[in-house]
A and B are shown apart, each in its own frame.
Chain A
Amino acid sequence: NAGVTQTPKFQVLKTGQSMTLQCAQDMNHNSMYWYRQDPGMGLRLIYYSASEGTTDKGEVPNGYNVSRLNKREFSLRLESAAPSQTSVYFCASSERGDRTGELFFGEGSRLTVL
């Protein structure tokens, strides 16, 4: 019963390096999301994909790109990592869009940028 799976769970990068966070869900959900959570703060939406083939910016998209590879997978890419991107990243999915449907989260990816 996997639900939402994120990889990697931990990553340390140097400033300027690039990396991709992978996310996959096995619940046949249409909508997928990437959030970041900084210490003592709530989740802030980076990008979301309402359905396969579409992506839209959230509250804090600068410095990130996304790809909705297929219905199951939604990746987040940092092209040139900065210390300000040190955070915990959560991928989520929902069946009907988050307006009315429950969000299911992955376990999170903890990223440190030195």
Chain B
Amino acid sequence: RKEVEQDPGPFNVPEGATVAFNCTYSNSASQSFFWYRQDCRKEPKLLMSVYSSGNEDGRFTAQLNRASQYISLLIRDSKLSDSATYLCVVNPTNAGKSTFGDGTTLTVKP
């Protein structure tokens, strides 16, 4: 079983739709969680950190469920520019090395 698992998609949604991605992790001791965005053939860039209480940044909301060991990303009012691959990243407590999920691909269509 992979340490970090994501639904690869692709998710194809119309502009204005709400879409949610989930990511599960196997190491219950994991402490830090992030969502990165990667555009086609580009480097990953931090989208947002995920805090225990949940956090929101404009149209994006991230949630953490430690009991079920998953994190989620909700995108409201999707824009064409949201089309990208979204990578879930989990950091363990001791090794300090990030583990990346394989990514979920989102395509927003007019």
Interface residues of A (CB under 8 A from B): 35, 40-45, 48, 50, 58-59, 90, 97-100, 102-103, 105-108
Return the contact of B31 from the options A45, A59, A99, A103 (Cβ within 8 A): A99
Chain B residue at minimum C-beta to C-beta distance from A96: B96
Q: Which residues of B contact A98 (CB under 8 A)?
A: 91, 96-98
Chain A residue nearest to B101 (CB atoms) is A42
Chain B positions near chain A (C-beta within 8 angstroms): 4, 8, 31-32, 34, 36, 41-46, 87, 89, 91-93, 96-98, 100-103
CA distance A45 to B44 in the complex (A): 14
16 contacts between A and B (CB under 8 A): A40-B8, A42-B102, A43-B100, A48-B97, A59-B97, A90-B43, A98-B98, A99-B92, A100-B91, A102-B34, A103-B36, A103-B44, A105-B44, A105-B45, A108-B41, A108-B42
Main SS at interface, chain B: loop
Q: A50-B96, A99-B32 are in contact. Are A43 and B42 (CB under 8 A)?
A: no
Bound-complex Cα distance A54 to B36 (A): 27
3 nearest interchain CB pairs? A42-B100, A105-B43, A99-B96
Which residues of the other chain, B, contact A103 by a CB distance below 8 angstroms? 36, 44, 46, 89, 98
User: Does the CB pair B43–A45 fall under 8 Å?
Assistant: no
For residue B2, which residue of chain A has the nearest CB? Answer: A42
Chain B contacts for A35, CB-based, 8 A: 100
Q: Which residues of A contact B103 (CB under 8 A)?
A: 41-42
